[in-house]
Chain A
Amino acid sequence: MTQMNMLQAINNALDTAMAADERVLCFGEDVGIFGGVFRATSNLQQKYGKARCFNTPLVEQGIIGFANGLAAQGSVPVAEIQFADYIFPAFDQIVNESAKFRYRSGNLFNVGGLTIRAPYGGGIAGGLYHSQSPEAYFAHTPGLKIVVPRNPHQAKGLLLAAIHDKNPTLFFEPKRLYRASVGDVPDEDYQLPLGEAEVLKEGTDVTVLGWGAQMEVIEHAVEMAEKEGISCEVIDLRTILPWDVETVANSVFKTGRLVVTHEAPLTGGFAGEIAATIQERCFLYLESPIARVTGMDTPFPLVLEKEHLPNHLKVYEAIRSSVEF
């Protein structure tokens, strides 16, 4: 075990994967000698050489198109998109190509080795182009996996699982926690399962569900609620696609209430998908409407980002409303 922040854990995961398998490559804008603008790829070029860790020209569609080709050839590319906000130039390569390679070729070809890493989310005074949470756009696309870690231990284990997974995987990193989240991380090579949610805390009155940076917000909100005697079950979804319906439904069978929170806007956000599925599965068990605490249906603001964000107070109020319904 070593104390690491989330960036160090991600760097450690990449290092572990590259050491274990020479087919693993890391590339993207500023990823080489500089180690990426956040330093997630520090020292990898020095250690594994320019052929396996390198700067690309500044073209996201090129980065992912290139990564698709590499993965189809049998390499294991881990491509970095500098900010999730800049993944959209590569949208076509991800949604039309990465996601459909296997399907359209009858599995003659696939890009299962591909992992795309991108820092996402707000709370860093980044305004509308350095704060977005784009997971729902990609969740509408069958063929992709989408993973969001909440802390350093999770980040290493989930990233290694994403790299080893036989499907193209988007790995969205909560950049607000890059340095803020510190914890013990095993030194060895380990993987955490994709497609499985984790129950972080058992409770009986209400299920509170989120992913990534919202887990910290939930923790704070739940503390407030528990002081008032409300027993919360807390779940980290971890994988947005394919998501773990079972774990969430089982929890709601028990608590009868669900609060889902994410930073992305409400309309078309992934909480909507969860709410629809859970009311289908758990209709007769629900004691109150499923609540969504999300960003507003606006682009991400700068000066008023605090108002826009689904913070612990908003989650806490939703928990109370749900219980007092």
Chain B
Amino acid sequence: MTTTKAKVAYSPVFTDGAEFRIPTFKLLKQDGSLYKGAKAPDISKEKALRIYRAMVTTRILDERMLAAQRQGRLSFYMQCTGEEAAVIGSTAALDDADMIMAQYREQGSLVYRGFTIDEFMNQLFGNELDYGKGRQMPVHYGSAELNYMTISSPLATQIPQATGYAYGQKLRGEGHCTITYFGEGAASEGDFHAALNMAAVHRVPVIFLCRNNGYAISTPAAEQFAADGVAPRAYGYKMDVIRVDGNDILAMHEATKAARSLAVEHNRPVLIEAMSYRLAAHSSSDDPSGYRSKDEEAVWREKDPILRMRLWLESKKWWTEDDEKKLQENMRREVLETMKRAQKRPPPALDTLVSDVYDEVPPALAEQFDKLKAHIRRHPDAYPKSAEHAKGTAKEGGLK
């Protein structure tokens, strides 16, 4: 049996997909006014301000923490700069109970959902209050309370997991969906293709959100794929797809809202490609001057998504110069004070080294741990972070 209903041709007919030119959905111009013919979205003042505050907070957090990394207070950092609208606009269109499975550049989603600056700092400094117990590099956040799955570094692994998670949500029938974020680079991984195919076949309420920000570390999108971006791939799996101006907060919100209703009400998975630009370096370890020009960055600086939203808010008389000043000052102060607090907190207890590998510590590992503690007690000066914790209970292991 064949599943194709294609027309029969009597000479070889090839197509290369060049006809797949997917339009870009936009609502908001850079000056804060709407495009001609664009319908004003239905976003309340309260919601608009929640979104805007999240964007500004994310930007300030990023600036401060990059500076902290440069001062040597922090080992590593990654910014969302330039992509705040893509991330926060989409998250804001969801129900706060929907699951988020992110890549690593989506701190904006957490800010929007109310992750506190303290919670960010505890993870960044890997202190005793870090939910991840100081096991992962900075920016690998997670929050069960805010339905934000803890980040895993291996790229794209979260995408098929999102399909599975959302399938479980469908079975539960509680009307929730999962959104998964990833870059256009990660979309090359096999996991991406597996995820889309399974979602389409099993009609899973999942939203795949590709942040196409032009680069995967140094690799430009043109060396990532030959096609017109990531969006056309959805056709191959028969999945709904939309391409959005990723710097347009209103368009991102509207597109995601519509995607959510397709997913939740009709069990149709959706692919959203948000077209944006990674304004910052890939990470604090990266120097983009080796692979792209300042001029190119400047063009995108002109399209700043935060400024665009601010101008829209001002045009609606929902925001003033004064509001902006206050928000900026308060956030900067809060970030700095919180950072100092978090930095001073002690590291996680020594037994976090062996907990959570399994539900219980297996005997062989417990034995290794006892030996380690005895070793640390013999050389407390060599282990400044854990010497205190190693004192006490365990039997002295001796040299053998």
Spell out A's residues near B (CB within 8 Å): 29-30, 32-35, 37, 54-55, 57-62, 85-86, 88-89, 125-130, 266-267, 296-299, 301-304, 306-308, 311, 313-314, 317, 320-321, 324-325
Contacts and interface: CB of A to CB of B under 8 A. Distances in A.
Contacts of B365: 296-298
Nearest to B288: A34
A301 B357 contact: no
A301 B219 contact: no
A313 B353 contact: no
B224 A58 contact: yes
Nearest to B376: A307
B350 A298 contact: no
Contacts of A313: 375, 379, 382
A125 B347 CA distance: 14
B154 A302 contact: no
Contacts of B235: none
A62 B60 CA distance: 38
A58 B216 contact: yes
B188 A59 contact: yes
A259 to B, nearest CB: 13
B188 A128 contact: no
B291 interface: yes
Nearest to B352: A304
Contacts of B376: 307
Interface of B: 75-76, 126, 134-137, 140, 152-155, 185-186, 188-191, 216-219, 223-225, 285-286, 290-291, 347-348, 350, 352-354, 357, 362, 364-365, 368-369, 372, 375-376, 378-379, 382-383, 385-386, 399-400
B399 to A, nearest CB: 5
A289 to B, nearest CB: 9
Contacts of B75: 125
A34 to B, nearest CB: 4
A304 B218 contact: no
Given A58-B224, A301-B134, A304-B348, A266 B188 contact: no
21 contacts: A29-B217, A30-B217, A33-B290, A33-B291, A34-B217, A34-B290, A34-B291, A37-B218, A57-B188, A58-B188, A59-B189, A86-B154, A127-B136, A128-B136, A296-B365, A297-B365, A301-B352, A302-B137, A307-B372, A307-B383, A321-B399
A4 B218 CA distance: 25
Given A85-B154, A303-B134, 13 more contacts: A32-B218, A33-B291, A34-B217, A58-B219, A59-B188, A89-B190, A128-B153, A267-B364, A296-B368, A299-B135, A302-B126, A304-B350, A304-B385
B376 to A, nearest CB: 7
A321 to B, nearest CB: 5
B64 to A, nearest CB: 20
A303 B378 CA distance: 21
A296 B369 CA distance: 8
A7 to B, nearest CB: 15
A296 B354 contact: yes
Contact of A307 (B126, B186, B353): B353
Contacts, number: 142
Contacts of B152: 129
A303 B130 CA distance: 11
Contacts of B188: 57-59, 62
Those 7 A-B pairs whose CB atoms lie nearest each other, nearest first = A303-B134, A129-B153, A34-B218, A57-B188, A58-B185, A127-B137, A303-B126
Contacts of B357: 297-299
B353 A296 contact: yes
A130 B368 CA distance: 23
B375 A314 contact: yes
Given A127-B136, A129-B154, A302-B137, A324 B218 contact: no
B10 to A, nearest CB: 34
Nearest to A301: B135
Contacts of A55: 218-219, 223
Given A58-B186, A266-B368, A317 B399 contact: yes
Contacts of B378: 317
A71 to B, nearest CB: 20
Given A58-B155, A307-B372, A307-B383, A298 B353 contact: yes
Contacts of A321: 399-400
Contacts of B134: 301-304
B217 A37 contact: yes
Contact of B153 (A29, A130, A298): A130
A36 to B, nearest CB: 9
Contacts of B354: 296, 298
A175 B206 CA distance: 38
B189 A89 contact: yes
Given A30-B219, A298-B365, A85 B155 contact: no
A320 B399 CA distance: 8
Nearest to A33: B291
Contacts of B400: 321, 325
B153 A85 contact: yes
Nearest to B365: A297
Contacts of A86: 154-155
A130 B153 CA distance: 9
